[in-house]
Structure 1
Amino acid sequence: MTRFHETLMGVYFDDLDAFQILHNARYLLLFERTIGSFWKHLGWGGVLDAQKNPDQFHFVRANNIEYLRPVVGVRDVRVRVWVEKLGRSSLAFGFRVLPTDQDEDFARGTRTVVRVDPTTHRPVPWTDTFRATLEPYRADLNP
């Protein structure tokens, strides 16, 4: 079974649109913060350092979000992330935004990142250490 990383995030007044629902752009921010929490959980947060963690250098290639039902008002939500697929130099995250008391999605989506050489910005393969660390979170290996 695939493991996931989940964080509790606050939705605040300034996250809401004129209809008092979570603004569509804020979902991506919640997801971004959860990925940061995931990296920190794995011991990879902090300042970029190619010597300590060459896999830190990656670019976002694509984000895809499907909005299923609105988050209304100021409240907490759960944001869940896992590795949907790990390629040679790409990584696709899956994510869900959920209420604190149900497993019914507010939104779900994916983000694809590509590991790059920090100087040339050309794609390079993920390291074996990175692959091994992410293995329990991979849906493509652990359905």
Structure 2
Amino acid sequence: MTAEAPIAPALSYGRLIPVTVHFDDLDALGLLHNARYPVMVERAWTALWQEHGFGFDGDWEAAGDFCNAVKELRITYDARVDKPGAYAVHLWLERLGNTGLTYGFRFCSADGAVTYARGSRVLVRLDAATLRPASWSEPFRAVGRELLRSAD
């Protein structure tokens, strides 16, 4: 019996968003700098929500659901990225609460087959005037439900 190669997770949940690693994203060892992974994930997350009409244009009062804060970020580095080029971020929601959410992510090859890093991030929706937790809007929640990863 031979060992089977790991199979890339099926993309039956979430979205695969293309990202680009540039030469200047690499550190002195020629590896993608650890601080660049969260930046790439943030850019992918922003692109995904902008596709659905959510975004920030400089006005926090008008930002609505984009007025949020990071409560927690966890990341595990699984394999090195040592070349500039096309990659992707696989994004999904693990939990969608009234005022918070947890999303999962994988920084991966452009086709999603190879995982370089994975993690999760907890966001809290804020009221722009008080900076206290506020409920996600129903349009935001509707898109969020489409991104939820099932328990199976």
Same-fold call, TM cutoff 0.5: yes
Structure 1 residues 58 and 46, CA, compared in 2 at 3 Å: closer, same or farther? closer
Deviates more, 1:64-73 or 1:38-47: 38-47
Question: 1:49: Cα distance to partner?
Answer: 6.0
| Identity level (%) | 33
2:109 alignment partner in structure 1: 99
**Aligned: 1:122 with 2:118:** no
**Aligned: 1:4 with 2:5:** no
What TM-score, normalized to structure 1?
0.87
Find runs of 4+ consecutive structure 1 residues off by over 6 angstroms: none
1:4-56 Cα distance to aligned partner (Å, 9 max, x none): 222221111111112111010000110010011011111112424645x6222
**Aligned: 1:79 with 2:89:** yes
Instruction: Report the aligned-residue RMSD.
Output: 2.0
Counterpart of 1:22 (choices 8, 12, 32) is 32
Structure 1 residues 2 and 119, CA, compared in 2 at 3 Å: closer, same or farther? farther
What TM-score, normalized to structure 2?
0.83
Structure 1 residues 36 and 14, CA, compared in 2 at 3 Å: closer, same or farther? same
2:142 alignment partner in structure 1: 132
Q: Distance in 1 between matches of 2:151 and 2:55?
A: 25
1:66-121 Cα distance to aligned partner (Å, 9 max, x none): 00010012222111111111112111111111112451210001111101111111
* Secondary structure, counterpart of 1:106 in structure 2: strand
Structure 1 residues 96 and 117, CA, compared in 2 at 3 Å: closer, same or farther? same
Q: Distance in 2 between matches of 1:2 and 1:86?
A: 18
2:6 alignment partner in structure 1: none
Q: Identify unmatched segments of 5+ residues in structure 1.
A: none
Q: Distance in 2 between matches of 1:20 and 1:6?
A: 25
Larger radius of gyration: 2
Q: Identify unmatched segments of 5+ residues in structure 2.
A: 1-10
2:65 alignment partner in structure 1: 55
